[in-house]
Structure 1
Amino acid sequence: MRVFFTGGSGKAGKWAIQHLQAQGHHVMNVDRVPSGSDCPELLIDLCDAGQVIGAMSQFIESAELGKGTGVPTYDAVVHFAAIPRVMIGTDGECFRQNTITTYNVIEAAVKLGISKVIFASSETTYAVCFADGEVKPDFVPIDETHPTVPHDSYAMSKVCNEMTAKSFQARTGADIYGLRINNVIEPNEYAEMFPAFVKDPALRRRNIFAYIDARDLGHIVDCCLKTDGLGYEVFNVSNDDMSVGITSNEVIERFYQGVEVRGKMSEHETFYSNKKAKEMVGFAPKHSWRDVLKR
């Protein structure tokens, strides 16, 4: 597939692009800064609607000129570009950029007749991550039916983006899928970070004791590219196990007293349910920090 990918210079995006290229997709990275990877790139301001639709409707590279049949269309758009969290700049600027870029990208895609859009939402929509003080989930494991009423501007922007996407889908009939991505972990970060999480599980409370391997994140993007006809859907994105060494029962006892537990959980099962993604798009995460630390 010919894929227009925004934010491919970021932590999550670069791994997703690597995976998509390995599956044979032809990817264009669209970002404000170069990625340094082996991928054609356009450097634009996604807050500028004119630049977005212009970038989405032009040649990727000189090799496409040889056919003499005009600009080929994109088969899909993947939108990962964003200010990645609060406390980088001002709250208002985080909200402004994240919402306007998402509007611009989806609007350009549907106006150009691109029928598949995948966009990055976030675990933060469930209000736990950047809350002032401690906010506990309404129930665990958290699935996509959990309320999304966040307290911070980053998560607010993601909830707004989900409604923007849902509205565009209702208007156009395109397939638009949102990925509520948990804390992205690169392979080298397991040895660097996870011993501390094993020692002190409380460090992972704000991430709902979950994580997503950057390589498995690329895998779910590919799964969504290959799955048609779902209309508008959102999916939690996480690995199968928790990011701490204690058992699920110990997590419940120490951190989720009084929280409804829906169903029996296995010993190390994630509290950030990925069952919907498995059932609907064939998501099958393969990586675990436990394998790395054993080695």
Structure 2
Amino acid sequence: MSKKRVLVTGAAGKVGKVVVDDLLSHGYDIFAVDRDFKEDPGVPHMTAELTNFGEALDALSSTGVDVYGRAEMNAFDAIVHLASIPHPREVSDADTFSNNMVATYNIFESAKRLGINNIVWSSSETLLGIPFEQSKIEAVPVTEDVKKYGSSTYAITKVLGEELAEQFCLHNPEMKIACLRLSNVMEDEDYKQFPDYQKDPNKRLWNLWSYIDVRDAAQSIRKAVETEFKGMDTFIITNDDTVMDTSSEELVKEYYPNLKINGELTENQTLLSNEKAKRILGYQPQHSWREFV
């Protein structure tokens, strides 16, 4: 049996590079797509501007080292769509909206036309109401069923991207789109700043002190590729712990005294629940910042 083929957009990015390596290490055949490769990813790849529908369709039609499309072949078993402007205010709001929405539409529509029905898309914790000190959440741990609340243009593109995913799946009962609401992604280098958070918890108040190690983000994406279901579904992806040494219960009581605590919180338990991702995807975080500081 041939290897399963997966196309990864945003493959040169912070998460994309690790996703490519993770999928390769688990036996997948990878085709990498990005608008700007600063280094050779070591796999078949294409530079493409995904806000251009023709380029998106061309990329998804690729069949390996030979990047020319073959209409008689279903080129990919799955698409991992990570390409986006990754942070609020990195560029103008209008450019963020235009880039993220058009690129996401182009990938979903190209996949539909090519009969590729397994899509994993990087949504974001931001649509849960970040910054949380200004949000409308009523209880922790926060789960996937809270009302979406995009307080930045970036977050709004994630809200609308999930709506777009739902519509594509409604019109194609064979399509699956897993929307992974990734928390703030951390690499080893980022953990050097964590001791400063202990001195001032306000620095991470905005996302309830949550984070996701980039390797665990990659694991969640692979698990989402492998999990079989139909339709659109959403999953919060965080590590099991917060960025703080202070217990989660103490943090909530001091900084969010009006929030209800559902159940009992373990010592440093994440306040953005990853229970659904564990239960349905089989996701199990393997890395904690405490190993590196």
TM-score range (shorter-chain normalised) is: over 0.9
Counterpart CA distance in 2 for 1:186 and 1:165 is 29
Aligned counterpart, 2:34: 31
Amino acid at match of 1:58: S
Q: Which whole-Å deviations, capped at 9, do the CAs of 1:68-122 have from their partners, x for residues lacking one? A: 9965520000100000112222111101111111000011111101110010100
Aligned counterpart, 1:117: 119
Aligned counterpart, 1:178: 179
* 1:15 counterpart (18, 39, 43): 18
> Shift of the alpha carbon at 1:50?
1.0
Deviates more, 1:97-106 or 1:135-144: 135-144
Aligned counterpart, 1:275: 275
Are the equivalent residues in 2 in contact too, given 1:80–1:120 (CA < 8 A)? yes
> Shift of the alpha carbon at 1:267?
0.9
Secondary structure of the corresponding residue to residue 123 of structure 2? strand
- Within 5 Å, give how 1:211-222 maps onto structure 2: 211-222=211-222
- Within 5 Å, give how 1:115-264 maps onto structure 2: 115-129=117-131, 134-135=134-135, 137-173=137-173, 174-190=175-191, 192-264=192-264
Are the equivalent residues in 2 in contact too, given 1:74–1:114 (CA < 8 A)? yes
Are the equivalent residues in 1 in contact too, given 2:74–2:116 (CA < 8 A)? no
Amino acid at match of 1:107: E
% identity of equivalent residues:
32
Secondary structure of the corresponding residue to residue 188 of structure 1? helix
The alignment covers a number of residue pairs equal to 288
Counterpart CA distance in 2 for 1:64 and 1:156 is 35
Are the equivalent residues in 2 in contact too, given 1:3–1:28 (CA < 8 A)? yes
Are the equivalent residues in 2 in contact too, given 1:136–1:259 (CA < 8 A)? no
> Shift of the alpha carbon at 1:134?
3.5
Counterpart CA distance in 2 for 1:245 and 1:134 is 24
Alignment of 1:5 with 2:36, yes or no, is no
Task: Rate the CA distance shift 1:228–1:79 in 2: closer, same or farther, 3 A.
Answer: same
Task: Rate the CA distance shift 1:63–1:24 in 2: closer, same or farther, 3 A.
Answer: farther
Counterpart CA distance in 1 for 2:74 and 2:105 is 23
The alignment yields a C-alpha RMSD, in angstroms, of: 2.0
Q: Which whole-Å deviations, capped at 9, do the CAs of 1:27-77 have from their partners, x for residues lacking one? A: 111111005232222111101111111111123204999xx9965520000
Alignment of 1:56 with 2:57, yes or no, is no
Amino acid at match of 2:42: D
Which consecutive unaligned segments of at least 5 residues does structure 2 have?
Answer: none
Counterpart CA distance in 2 for 1:252 and 1:291 is 24
Secondary structure of the corresponding residue to residue 117 of structure 1? strand
Tell me the TM-score normalised to structure 2 length.
Answer: 0.93
Q: Which whole-Å deviations, capped at 9, do the CAs of 1:134-163 have from their partners, x for residues lacking one? A: 336322111101111222100000000000
Amino acid at match of 2:6: V
Counterpart CA distance in 2 for 1:33 and 1:279 is 36
Q: Which whole-Å deviations, capped at 9, do the CAs of 1:159-202 have from their partners, x for residues lacking one? A: 00000001101111211100000000012321x21111222221
Deviates more, 1:157-166 or 1:83-92: 83-92
Tell me the TM-score normalised to structure 1 length.
Answer: 0.92
Secondary structure of the corresponding residue to residue 134 of structure 2? coil
Q: Which whole-Å deviations, capped at 9, do the CAs of 1:265-291 have from their partners, x for residues lacking one? A: 111100010000000010011110112
Are the equivalent residues in 2 in contact too, given 1:128–1:137 (CA < 8 A)? no
Which consecutive unaligned segments of at least 5 residues does structure 1 have?
Answer: none
Secondary structure of the corresponding residue to residue 18 of structure 1? helix
Are the equivalent residues in 1 in contact too, given 2:61–2:68 (CA < 8 A)? no
Counterpart CA distance in 2 for 1:22 and 1:208 is 33
Alignment of 1:291 with 2:291, yes or no, is yes
Counterpart CA distance in 1 for 2:42 and 2:254 is 46
Amino acid at match of 1:220: S
Amino acid at match of 1:169: C
Aligned counterpart, 1:73: 75
Task: Rate the CA distance shift 1:183–1:63 in 2: closer, same or farther, 3 A.
Answer: closer
Counterpart CA distance in 1 for 2:141 and 2:279 is 16
Counterpart CA distance in 2 for 1:43 and 1:208 is 37
Counterpart CA distance in 1 for 2:280 and 2:38 is 32
Amino acid at match of 2:159: V
> Shift of the alpha carbon at 1:207?
2.1
